[in-house]
Amino acid sequence: MDSARSFDLPFVKMHGAGNDFVVIDQRSSQACLTPAIARAIGDRHRGVGFDQLVTIDSDGDADARLTFWNADGTTAGACGNATRCVAWALMDESGKDRLLLRTERGLLAAERLEGGQITVNMGQPQLDWTEVPLARPSDTLHLPLDGDPAAVGMGNPHCVFFVPDAEAVSLERDGPALEHNPLFPQRANVEFASLLGPDHLRLRVWERGAGVTLACGSGTCATAVAAARRGLTGRHVVVEADGGTLEVDWREDGVWLTGPVARVFAGSLDSSLLREV
């Protein structure tokens, strides 16, 4: 190994129910991220690989400000599992059990629960077609698309299908076209859910800008909201994603997302990776 080589961008790899993230703390070092750099880091063969990249910045009115990048170099307004992961790391750093985190979605409250799980209030769902947003006036509970999906905004747009068997869906086949459907001017996250039992859902996800992911926090929230609105479940549901189990509780003050978090490893990005882009 060349000891003279410069390793100058620290990061931490984390995941929540298999939804994986690269976390870069910009409070101590400015990364100056660009879409090209985010794509390079997100490459699972030539970079580190992630579903989303999260940067942490200082904020005068919150414990921190978070920005989310997708693997394709675009940004995301919300990311529930990444918010929970960063909340855990900041709680571990500060000794606090409650935090306020600023995102494009707004100020989100996060709490540490017994057993180490982290819960975050993802805010109220956006249920009007203008909020999702959609390209034209539509009933968000029954979109004019084959399969009768619902639309929910959670700081990012979601298209939720209820199917007999989520396991039988080909995400790689159906996800791309639905993500780019003209009804969604900002593209869409696409969820396929099936009912396993009372207040118990199976969920598989195609994420906007990331593709197939093992879980999606905002998508889990959107699916739970759509299921409750359609009378399929109550407002507190358990959701089985490909990567693990999450819980959603749609309360008066917002949609709370709860689940496990894990810190996988820490490292530093070689400056040559950044120079190449």
Q: What is the pLDDT of residues 226-275, one digit of tens each?
A: 999 999 999 999 999 999 999 999 999 999 999 999 999 999 988 777 66
Domains identified in the chain, total number: 2
Residue 174 φ then ψ, to 5°? -90, -30
How many helices (H) and strands (E) are present in the chain, helices listed first?
5, 17
SS3 content of the chain, % helix, strand, coil (to 5): 20, 40, 40
Residue 23 near residue 86 (C-beta atoms within 8 A): yes
Same domain, 117 and 28: yes
268 within some domain: yes
Residues 158 and 108 in one domain: no
What is the pLDDT confidence band of residue 152, given thresholds at 50, 70 and 90?
very high
Mean pLDDT (the chain) is 94
Listed in sequence order, the DSSP H helices in the chain are 35-42, 80-94, 171-179, 217-229, 271-275
Residues 13, 111 within the same domain:
yes
Contacts of 47 (CB under 8 A, 6+ apart): 40, 41, 273
What pLDDT, on a 0 to 100 scale, did the predictor assign at position 203?
A: 98
- Residues contacting residue 101 through CB under 8 Å, at least 6 positions apart: 62, 63, 64, 65, 66, 83, 86, 87, 90, 107, 108, 110, 120
211 in a domain, yes or no? yes
Q: In angstroms, what CA-CA distances link 150 with 80, 104, 161, 205, 217?
A: 20, 23, 7, 14, 17
Same domain, 268 and 246: no
Task: Give residue-wise pLDDT tens across range 87-126.
Answer: 999 999 999 999 999 999 999 999 999 888 999 999 999 9
Q: 1-26: per-residue pLDDT in tens?
A: 344 444 578 999 999 999 999 999 99
Q: Do 246 and 266 lie in a common domain?
A: no
**pLDDT single digits (tens) 79-89:** 999 999 999 99
- For residues 118 and 214, membership in a common domain is answered with no
Residue 177 domain-assigned (yes or no) = yes
**Claim to verify: residue 154 and residue 224 sit in the same structural domain:** yes
- We report the CATH number of the domain holding residue 13 as 3.10.310.10
**Domain co-membership, 103 together with 171:** no
Alpha carbon dihedral 231, 241, 119, 250, in 10-degree steps, equals -10
Which token pair is 88? 């855990």
71 burial level (CB within 10 Å; 0-12, 13-18, 19+)? buried
pLDDT at 277: 64
Same domain, 162 and 200: yes
Beta bridge partners of 259: 118
pTM for this entry: 0.94
Statement to judge: residues 51 and 100 lie in one domain: yes
163 is in which domain, residue-wise?
150-252
* Residue 87, CB-side half-sphere exposure with 13 Å CA sphere: 34
- 154 in a domain, yes or no? yes
Instruction: Compute the chain's Rg from CA coordinates.
Output: 18
Q: What is the pLDDT of residue 6?
A: 47
110 and 17 both lie in a single domain: yes
Active site residues: 79, 216
- Say if 131 falls within a structural domain: no
CA 265 to CA 200: how far, in whole Å?
A: 32
Nearest to 258 by CA among 238, 235, 228, 243: 238
* Residues 98 and 165 occupy one common structural domain: no
Whether 72 is in a domain gets the answer yes
- Note whether residue 206 is domain-resident: yes
Domain presence at residue 2: no
